[in-house]
Amino acid sequence: MTFNEFDFHSDIRKGVKIAGFREPSPIQEMAIPIIEAGDDMVGQAHTGTGKTAAFGLPMLNKIANGEIERALVITPTRELATQVSDELYHLGRFAGIRTLTVYGGVGYGRQIALIHKGVQIVVATPGRLKDLYKKGKIDVFNPEIVVLDEADEMLDMGFLEEIKEIFEYIPQNRQTLLFSATMPEPIKELADNILYNPKFISVVNKDEATTNNIIDQRYYVIHEHERDDAIVKLLETEDTDKCIVFCRMKREVDRLSEHLSAMGFNAKGLHGDMEQQERDEMIKGYRRGEIKIMVATDVASRGLDVKNVSHVFNYHIPFDPQSYVHRIGRTGRAGKSGQAITLVSTEEFRELQRIQKEVGADMRLATISNSSTSIDESSIEYLASNIRNSEIHPDVDRLLNHLKGMDHKLFLKKIASMIMNEQDYSSENQIGLDQDKVDEIMDSYIHQKRTSKGNNRRRKR
């Protein structure tokens, strides 16, 4: 099938041609006829499958043909709202269709004025949209089509109550479309409440309901002090196009992005404390390829859709399994393969196993080749810190008596060398533990746990 087979208005067909669309994706082929027919619809599809054009083209076509006057798209984040608005503008520009992005963090005035002037499509985030309706600022805007995009993301971000309130202000005689990658119970209940006799379509395979099966998922078991060296080595050795490095905390984003920049990488940070203008500029630069490495928190990346993300790196393991699924879903989109790489310390390894089990992730252990035989600076700092914080052994004076008369500097160098050799940093040719070492650590962990349980039982007796 080609786009020429859809009976679009000539101005919409021109927008499709300029956009380079030839054959519709599965979600577009299924959704467009349903939306054209005027039915409510629930579409299950991941970001990157062509959802925006799937709902956007029939919506634009109805406006161009004079069937409807206004449409509303609700998205979870400002970044996604801007992206959807841009795509709808480019597809509908030859028909003179005006779009407006509405989100918080900027003044109300311009947004209200443009709505009153009669923009046909508003793409909005839930918080600002609810405020505008609640304060009676946009009573004139009565959309005939309403789209909820990435509904499960809105649920995760706590917007469900705002969504329900927004629909109290929207006319009942509307066409409603809901798109979501997953269908948790609250989303099903929401669909029952706001949609009328909807058609259901899905392009999510059973295998894709957890983690994408075209994403190569690897993990590296490292010592905590190796984390920075490991991410640097991976960025040096992996054939990356655009990549995202996920951190847990905003301060970690700032520190790591500065560290990577100092190492010569084209890296910038993204988190919720940044000014909106700074966030927008960073994302635009990333989309255009001017920035190659995005260091981000989970919250900052939600709803973000960027093409050609070849790698996702988990600098720290995420807090929960669904965050892992969300993170790695930034790569391997639109049928392309992707790489998802997780750094996990020996202490975090059990948590990684839990995530593997819960999401059914096919993750493999890997190691990072380290051709250098010298000890890196972070390892030196780690050893120095350990020495400073070490407790004095009770027999140290007896040992020193045996070494009386030895040159002081030579003595210190020999002691330090013994410590370094014992750690075996200089002789290792890789970052990351191999399977034998991981198995050894896990056997030790299980033994300690059993011993602890046995001691507890004895104490109870």
| CATH at 231 | 3.40.50.300
| Least confident segment among 227-236, 358-367, 392-401 | 358-367
Is the confidence at residue 424, as pLDDT, over 60? no
Is the confidence at residue 210, as pLDDT, over 90? no
The arithmetic mean of pLDDT across residues 131-157, rounded, is: 90
Give residue 193's pLDDT. 92
Residue 18 phi, psi dihedral angles, 5° rounding: -65, -35
Q: Are residue 29 and residue 48 in the same domain, yes or no?
A: yes
Q: Are residue 303 and residue 226 in the same domain, yes or no?
A: yes
Cβ contacts of 280-283, under 8 Å, gap ≥ 24 = 280/78, 280/79, 280/82, 283/79
Final residue before a domain boundary, out of 337, 369, 401:
369
Strands, sheet with 293-296, edge to edge from the N-terminal-most edge strand: 267-270, 293-296, 242-246, 309-314, 338-345, 215-222, 363-365
Any domain includes 274: yes
Number of domains in the chain: 3
Q: Are residue 362 and residue 224 in the same domain, yes or no?
A: yes
DSSP helix/strand/coil, 215: strand
DSSP 8-class letter at 182: S
The arithmetic mean of pLDDT across residues 207-231, rounded, is: 77
Q: Are residue 190 and residue 237 in the same domain, yes or no?
A: no
Is the confidence at residue 45, as pLDDT, over 90? no
Instruction: Measure the CA–CA gap between 79 and 103, rounded to whole angstroms.
Output: 10
448 falls in which pLDDT band (50, 70, 90)? low
Q: Are residue 34 and residue 124 in the same domain, yes or no?
A: yes
CA angle (325 as vertex; 128, 431 as ends), nearest 5: 125
Any domain includes 402: yes
The total number of residues written for the chain in this structure: 461
The arithmetic mean of pLDDT across residues 401-414, rounded, is: 85
Is the confidence at residue 65, as pLDDT, over 90? yes
The arithmetic mean of pLDDT across residues 343-353, rounded, is: 83
Is the confidence at residue 375, as pLDDT, over 60? yes
Q: Are residue 188 and residue 220 in the same domain, yes or no?
A: no
Any domain includes 405: yes
Is the confidence at residue 207, as pLDDT, over 50? no
DSSP helix/strand/coil, 41: strand
Instruction: Measure the CA–CA gap between 182 and 186, rounded to whole angstroms.
Output: 11
Residue 314 phi, psi dihedral angles, 5° rounding: -95, 95
Average pLDDT along the chain: 84
Q: What does the block give as tokens for 440? A: 């050894």
- Cα torsion for 24, 123, 82, 235, to the nearest 10°? -60
Any domain includes 444: no
Instruction: Measure the CA–CA gap between 124 and 391, rounded to whole angstroms.
Output: 59
Q: Are residue 97 and residue 155 in the same domain, yes or no?
A: yes
Is residue 342 a contact partner of residue 314, using CB atoms and an 8 Å limit? Answer: yes
Gyration radius of the chain's alpha carbons: 28
DSSP helix/strand/coil, 101: strand
Q: Are residue 230 and residue 292 in the same domain, yes or no?
A: yes
The arithmetic mean of pLDDT across residues 116-145, rounded, is: 93
Is residue 370 a contact partner of residue 434, using CB atoms and an 8 Å limit? Answer: no
| Least confident segment among 89-98, 294-303, 309-318 | 294-303
Final residue before a domain boundary, out of 351, 369, 387:
369
Final residue before a domain boundary, out of 171, 204, 237:
204
421 falls in which pLDDT band (50, 70, 90)? confident
Element (H, E) at 336: none
Give me the sign of the Cα torsion angle 282, 52, 334, 327: positive
Any domain includes 440: no
Q: Are residue 274 and residue 356 in the same domain, yes or no?
A: yes
Give residue 329's pLDDT. 80
Q: What does the block give as tokens for 2? A: 């080609």
Any domain includes 59: yes
141: nearest Cα among 101, 162, 169: 169
Any domain includes 449: no
Per-residue pLDDT tens over the stretch 357-369: 777 777 888 887 6
Residue 439 phi, psi dihedral angles, 5° rounding: -60, -40
Instruction: Measure the CA–CA gap between 71 and 94, rounded to whole angstroms.
Output: 18
Q: Are residue 358 and residue 382 in the same domain, yes or no?
A: no
Is the confidence at residue 414, as pLDDT, over 80? yes
Is residue 46 a contact partner of residue 181, using CB atoms and an 8 Å limit? Answer: yes
Is residue 448 a contact partner of residue 440, using CB atoms and an 8 Å limit? Answer: no
Q: Are residue 242 and residue 384 in the same domain, yes or no?
A: no
Domain of residue 167, residue span: 3-204
Calculate what percentage of the chain has a pLDDT beyond 90: 40
456 falls in which pLDDT band (50, 70, 90)? low
Q: Are residue 297 and residue 334 in the same domain, yes or no?
A: yes
Any domain includes 433: no
